[in-house]
Amino acid sequence: MSRHSTTLRILYPGLKAVFWGLFALFLAPMRKRNSKNVPKTGPLLILANHISNTDPILVQYSCPRMIHFMARRELFDWKVLGPFLKWWRAFPVTQSAADTQAIRRAIELLEEGNAVCIFPEGQLSPDGKLIELLPGAHLIIRRTGVHCICVGLQGTNKLMPHPKLTPQIAASWLTATWGKPKYFDKSTSREDFVKWIESELLTLSGQPQKSSDGIQTIATQESSEN
């Protein structure tokens, strides 16, 4: 079974505190909203918008359970980050192509009862706005049928704007707002699934979205820190 190591599980609370402290040095404290919505057990596919290279840290910090991340393949070749990602049981994905190996790995992890996070846009948004979603998330659903939950991220692009790889003073909260989990079976159409993800991520990240009459409205989400 692909579980996080015992050593990592023991060190995990301390690592959360360390990362919060490091981010706070750049005036970018992390906070979580509605994390009580996250199912504590069972297979779970987590879907997040992607606006900064620091997004996975905020997602994991805000989540009450440990996550397996799908991460860009090139990152595994970095001297320090690569071994850290492997230690965290992340797995690589090739962004420029349909990576069936990464999809199979995500399916395996879900079938073992793990929480898996992917960024369905497939790449960083250059301006923080949600971009077109790739088919990978739906391919996973077609093979598994699991509970899904979206998390909207805000502020991380102020700490590390695209395409920078070094942090800067953000003077902003980094906020992760969780939606409510929803079960999708294998027969769910791609159109319905994508529509749900888009609506959730726009709402949770406070981005404008079209109402039923086509008028642009500001998405809002009732939230509470926990």
Q: What is the chain's pLDDT, residue by residue, as a tens digit (226 residues)?
A: 578 999 999 999 999 999 999 999 999 999 999 999 999 999 999 999 999 999 999 999 999 999 999 999 999 999 999 999 999 999 999 876 678 999 999 999 999 999 999 999 999 999 999 999 999 999 999 999 999 999 999 999 999 998 888 999 999 999 999 999 999 999 999 999 999 999 999 999 999 875 654 444 444 454 456 6
pTM above 0.85, yes or no: yes
CA 74 – CA 94 distance, rounded (Å): 8
Cα-based distances in Å from 28 to 18, 22, 55, 76: 13, 9, 13, 26
d(CA 197, CA 158): 24
* Residue in the structure block whose two tokens are 């991460």: 71
Rounded Cα distance, 51 and 53, in Å: 7
Distance CA 92, CA 114 (A): 17
For residue 153, give the nearest of 169, 182, 173, 170 by alpha carbon: 173
Question: In whole angstroms, what is the distance from residue 159 CA to residue 28 CA?
Answer: 7
Write the pLDDT tens digit of every residue in 123-174.
Answer: 999 999 999 999 999 999 999 999 999 999 999 999 999 888 899 999 999 9
Answer yes or no: are the C-beta atoms of 203 and 220 closer than 8 Å.
Answer: yes
Residue type, 12: Y
Structural domains of the chain, with CATH: 6-218 (3.40.1130.10)
Selection from 153, 162, 150, 164 nearest residue 198 by Cα? 150
